[in-house]
Chains A and B, each alone.
Chain A
Amino acid sequence: MDTLAFLAQGFAVAMTPTNLLLALFGCIAGTMIGSLPGLGPVNGVAILIPLAFTLGLDPTSALILLSAVYYGAMYGGRISSIILNIPGDEPAIMTTLDGYPMAKKGKAAEALAISGVASFIGATVATLGLTLFAPLLAKAAIYFGPADYFALYVLAFATIGGVSGMNPMKTLLAACIGLMLATVGLDPSTGTARYTGGSYDLYDGFDPIVAIVGLFAISEMLMLFEGNLGATAIPSVGRVVPRMKDILFSLGATLRGSAVGFIAGILPGAGASLGAVMSYSVEKRVSDKNKTFGTGDPRGVAAPEAGNNAASGAALIPMLTLGVPGSGTTAVMLAMLISFNVQPGPLLFQNQPDIVWGLIASLYIANIVLLVLNIPFIGLFTRLLMLPQWVLMPFVLIVSFLGVFAISNSVHGLLVMIAFGVLGYVLRKMEISLIPVVLGVLLGGDMEDNLRRALSISGGDPWILVHSPISIGLYIATAALLVIAFVFAERSTPAPGTSHNVK
């Protein structure tokens, strides 16, 4: 078979000592960068591009280094989600929902181990998909128009309701706050400034990663000021080596998460964050029979981690075959390819097979390296939990400030982060979940872009939104999910008179 021959050739390219060393370094650096709040895969890749040039690497080696960083950061993002309740990067948001409760129960090591294995499986599924079907899938993604993307975002937001496990009205309120914040900045289709108060710094709206660091890290610090500063984060650490039983228990969740994430990743623009959101909400619908999700269910850790790793692997498909980046990170990798005179697009697989197949082979290698690396890392990271909060949190705060400054290069970014921190503190006090707010900020812009595009195409006629079979199918799925959620809620509602408002 052609594919196998090409892949074998790819491994021959990737298995040189230099390239293996680069993959190893990339994996370690990526995990570190991914686990620091504020710094994510985009920054990791952007930071290392100059290094690739300084070392005089050829395009294949440079790409191997950067994709190892990319995969590594996806693995790393989960670490601070689980240990600190602060997502290391955007796609790791959903991992906080069950990962942190697991850590609080003394199961941090299990959570890290399960999510590590889930990441491995998710990334492997995506890499296999990339190997076998890339050109085919790229053709299919073309038929996904703006109206269909909008329907997909509607589906994502409709499923948030069930995610946070809180009062549905508060969840709705939180999502609305997020969406409103996402409208700040230049109007995508006319370039008119909205809610910027004349400040050029607000022209691009709020950077989601800055918002996340503020909402989670800064508000956590503010909560700590209220007391309890001397306490150790989490008393017991638990086992360091994952048990087969735990991994098997969450295997179904991992596989479902991988499939959902892979589909989200193929669609340019949707990317890893949406992959994680959809994986988590699907898994909760399928498996949450005993209402254990949100309280530290291992399946709630496995699904989003498999999902975001599968999505980030799949995002390479539109990048390589169409030249359309599926995410911020792939946009940076695309730019680097172009500056190496490699032109991604429909002809890349034919014109430069050794680059493509060398890259694909290196993804397999990076993935295995990451799994092997991440098991010993677990012991290291769980040890952080034994530090008292008054030691740990100031360190997190310093890293947050430096990380945000490094990506925004401005004091403005720091001020936005602090403002979001105060907002996060107020919302937490009102027991409003932060996740829907973040998703609103993160996905709201793309959702609006696609709505506006669809309406520009139709000349303002809203019927275009339900004009294609894809969008109709997505709306039916949304309606079905809402009905199921409603029926489910009715059944599990306690006798009338009891408070419905328990956390």
Chain B
Amino acid sequence: MKFLKLASLAVIGTAAAAGGIATATPALATDCIAPSDPGGGWDFTCRTIGRLLTETGVIDETVQTTNVSGGTGAVAFARVAGSRADDENLIVATSSVAITQIAQGKYPGGTDTMRWLAMLGADVGVLVVPADSPFQTLDDFLAAAKDNPSSMVVGGSSAAGGWDHLRLLMLAGEAGMEPDAYKSMRWVNFNSGSPAVTQMLGGQVQAVTTDIGEIGGFVQSGDIRILVAMSDEPIPAFPDAPTTASLGLEMTGYNWRGFYVGGDVSDEAYDGWVEKMKALYDTPEWKEAAQANGLIPIWRGGAEFSEYVDQQAADTEAVSREIGVIN
């Protein structure tokens, strides 16, 4: 495995050299697995945090990002559990989306398979409608949904039962809709948030639930309106948008970003990583990068974070069971 990887690097190196410029390859001590193709949210987590870890001097060497995509993170999860469970130089990007998959039994193992390191920030789930939509407020939307749930067509960036869809259903449930009613709202999945919003602007769906980070530009330009942000605190970029807390609803729809390491990593190495992540979290560079990407910096690390992950998995499993995504 290792020599193949080196060889592939060598080929790329040769291509670069053939192109007239040879690039020096720095020592690769830390590996960050992004369980998605280049360009996804997990890829961003690895690449940005990997870069900042070096730039801010938290670690000396550079962080190499490896994309291991497949099964919404299941392939990377299986690979780490199978062959790199004790690799102390390996961190894996993860988020709420992965916990949803675990809770629904779509990963090879439960949350206890890995050691959960920390979350460094969170994207906030929002319910948005086009600027010319008849729904001015969340109440308008809910009134229409209660009236005739099967006429509501909502889109987002996950499959039915995925995190974007679950957040919508949890919101509807919290606002007093019955499971039978909110289950009959139509759900349309798109590859990510921006296509969902563009298709909404083209009149294909009435509303979209997804993370604010990717679609903030459409709110700024006035093309779409936030009916509610599923958070306790107002979103820094759009402080005037109503939140679930300000509307008196007891639910949040964060999509946190963080890392796990293999299940057999020693306490010493685990604690060392938690410390390093905390050191990075405390830098202004991270705050700046997070904010620019629509993330709210939030810290949970070590044991506290592990408990949080377990709790989230249990909650998601309960909701999934209630709405019939799993039996």
Contact = CB atoms under 8 A, between A and B. Distances in A.
A399 B11 contact: yes
Given A268-B195, A324-B198, A343 B71 contact: no
Contacts of A338: 44, 293
A196 to B, nearest CB: 9
A323 B217 contact: yes
B39 A457 contact: no
B24 to A, nearest CB: 9
Interface stretch (B13-21, B170-178, B247-255): B13-21
Interface string B20-63: 11010010000000000111100110011001000000000010
A203 B70 contact: yes
A269 interface: yes
A268 B186 contact: no
Interface string B132-164: 000000000000000000100100000111100
B196 to A, nearest CB: 10
Contact of A51 (B8, B23, B68, B187): B23
Contacts of B38: 42, 45-46, 49, 331-332, 335
B160 A322 contact: no
Interface stretch (A111-119, A151-159, A185-193): A185-193
B183 to A, nearest CB: 13
A32 interface: yes
B41 to A, nearest CB: 9
A contacts with B: majority SS: helix
B44 A335 contact: yes
Contact of B19 (A25, A146, A341, A346): A25
A332 B69 CA distance: 14
A347 B222 CA distance: 10
B205 interface: yes
B194 interface: yes
Interface string B77-93: 11100000000000000
Interface string A4-47: 00000000000000000000010011001100100000100111
Given A323-B217, A325-B39, A459-B186, A409 B159 contact: no
A246 interface: no
Interface string A344-363: 11111000000000000000
A475 interface: no
Looking at A186, A200, A405, the one whose CB has the most chain B CB atoms below 10 A away is A200
B221 interface: yes
A405 B15 contact: no
A453 B40 CA distance: 21
B108 A200 contact: yes
A328 interface: yes
Given A200-B75, A335-B38, A343-B216, A188 B199 contact: no
A399 B72 CA distance: 29
Contact of A453 (B8, B51, B65, B189): B189
B305 interface: no
Contacts of B283: none
Contacts of A324: 194-195, 198
Given A145-B199, A409-B68, A346 B44 contact: no
A410 interface: yes
Given A200-B78, A345-B218, A410-B68, A453 B188 contact: yes
A204 interface: yes
Contacts of A54: 23, 26, 62
Which of B20, B44, B203, B217 counts the most chain A CB atoms within 10 A?
Answer: B217
Contact of A269 (B18, B47, B67, B195): B195
Contacts of A29: 15-16, 19
Contact of A345 (B69, B150, B203, B221): B221
Contacts of A346: 217-218, 221, 223
Interface in B268-301: 289, 292-293
A463 interface: no
B204 A145 contact: yes
Nearest to B213: A338
B37 A328 contact: yes
B202 A457 contact: no
Interface string A47-70: 101110110000000000000000
Contact of A348 (B153, B195, B215, B217): B217
B318 interface: no
A33 B15 contact: yes
Contact of A28 (B20, B47, B188, B190): B20
B44 A347 contact: no
A457 B153 contact: yes
Contacts of B1: 411
B198 A268 contact: yes
A191 B70 contact: no
14 contacts: A42-B37, A188-B189, A191-B160, A201-B75, A268-B198, A269-B191, A322-B194, A322-B198, A323-B194, A328-B39, A339-B48, A409-B5, A409-B66, A456-B186
Q: Which 8 pairs between the two chains have the least Cβ-Cβ distance?
A: A345-B217, A203-B71, A191-B159, A331-B39, A341-B292, A28-B19, A406-B8, A335-B39
Interface of A: 25, 28-29, 32-33, 36, 42, 45-47, 49-51, 53-54, 141-146, 186-191, 200-201, 203-204, 268-269, 318, 322-325, 328, 331-332, 334-335, 338-339, 341, 343-348, 399, 402-403, 405-406, 409-411, 449, 452-453, 456-457, 459
Given A141-B198, A146-B188, A338-B293, 17 more contacts: A33-B15, A143-B202, A186-B71, A189-B187, A189-B189, A191-B106, A191-B162, A200-B70, A200-B71, A324-B194, A339-B47, A341-B293, A343-B216, A345-B194, A346-B218, A402-B8, A406-B12
